[in-house]
Amino acid sequence: MKRIYLDNNATTKVDPEVFDKMLPWFIENYGNEMSNSHSFGWEAREAVDIAREQIASEIGSEPSEIIFTSGATESINIALRGVIKKSYIKPHIITLKTEHKAVLDTLNNLEQNGVEVTYLNVKKNGIIDFSTIKNAIKKNTVLVSVLHGNNEIGVIQPIKIIGEICRENKILFHVDGAQTLGKIILNMNELNIDLFSMSSHKLYGPKGVGALYIRRKNPRVNLIPITTGGGQEKGIRPGTLPVPLIVGFGEAMRLAIKNLELDSKRIKKNER
């Protein structure tokens, strides 16, 4: 019996073009990108730089603002915990009750360590009321965290307006973009996003790799690392980089944007 897979919001299969792009970096070009004294390392560093540029160009950011991680969950932890560790006051975070467990569980843990968190209700259509966010802001609010595209009910939050509210109140804005990356046009500056969590396996890339966008200016976001042990990724996420997976992520990003308009038309055509 042929099986039919209907769970692409959970994960997608690796695109054959992505797999072909990754393969040489497993068995031929297997150098460590931190090895700067031989060609194997130089080639690996160049491949990582290309992938970083591919991802940055598609979300309207600079390559230097992209930090590679193991996926959106780790990116979320680095963002939320990194901001809290940098705070010099008893911090307050605002989020929605409809967030992904990666955010909710992380915030629940932070609450147990003295962080104040406000969980907001959404309207019947799943969208947040802007006045609800404005009314929740306190003097010690340091961050608002919102899921862009909901993985269960499909609603897309009005990120740009939420970002404007955060800007007006000088509050950092984190967005979980795992479900929208590569599916709609994104620009970090236009959307007023300071921190943006990404995952490769939602857009036909490999599992085990993701990224975190960290704004470098207007305002510059400074995070305290939550792990130590090396200088990789500006010390924000130390550890040997998985070059094949990063190459795959970059290629998946390129293909997603290349096919975005065509895929959107195809999906809308099949809607009832």
At 13, the pLDDT band (50, 70, 90 cuts) reads very high
pLDDT in tens, 163-222: 999 999 999 999 999 999 999 999 999 999 999 999 999 999 999 999 999 999 999 999
Residue 2 lies in a domain: no
**Mean pLDDT over the full length of the chain:** 95
Query: Residue 264: what pLDDT?
Result: 80
Domains in the chain: how many in total?
1
Per the domain annotation, does 214 fall within a domain?
yes
Question: Does any domain span residue 23?
Answer: no
Residue 272 pLDDT greater than 80, yes or no: no
The boundaries of the domain holding residue 207 are 38-260
pTM of the complete model: 0.95
What pLDDT band is residue 87 in, cutting at 50, 70 and 90?
confident
230: helix, coil or strand? coil
Lowest mean pLDDT among 8-17, 83-92, 123-132, 204-213: 83-92
- Rounded to an integer, what is the distance from CA 116 to the centroid of its chain? 23
Asked whether residue 104 is domain-assigned, the answer is: yes
Q: Is residue 18 part of a domain?
A: no
Question: In which region does residue 91 sit, left (phi positive, over 0), alpha (psi from -120 to 50) or beta (all else)?
Answer: beta
What pLDDT was estimated at residue 157?
98
Residue 88 confidence (pLDDT): 81
Whether 123 is covered by a domain: the verdict is yes
Residue 72's pLDDT is: 98
Q: What is the mean pLDDT of residues 248-253?
A: 98
CB 148 within 8 A of CB 176: yes
pLDDT the model gives residue 262: 85
pLDDT at 270: 65
What is the rounded distance in angstroms from the CA atom of residue 103 to the CA atom of residue 80?
A: 8
pLDDT digits (tens, 9 = 90+) for 223-246: 999 999 988 999 999 999 999 999
Q: Any residues with CB less than 8 A from the CB of 126 and at least 6 apart, and which? A: 98, 150, 153, 155
Q: Edge-to-edge strand order for the sheet containing 116-120?
A: 66-69, 210-214, 195-199, 172-176, 141-147, 92-96, 116-120
If you average pLDDT over residues 40-62, what whole number do you get? 97
Instruction: Tell me what percent of the residues of the chain surpass a pLDDT of 90.
Output: 90
CATH number of the domain bearing residue 175: 3.40.640.10
Residue 29 lies in a domain: no
The pLDDT value recorded for residue 134 is: 97
Q: How far is CA 1 from CA 4, 5, 13, in A?
A: 10, 13, 20
What pLDDT does 271 receive?
56
Q: Is residue 8 part of a domain?
A: no
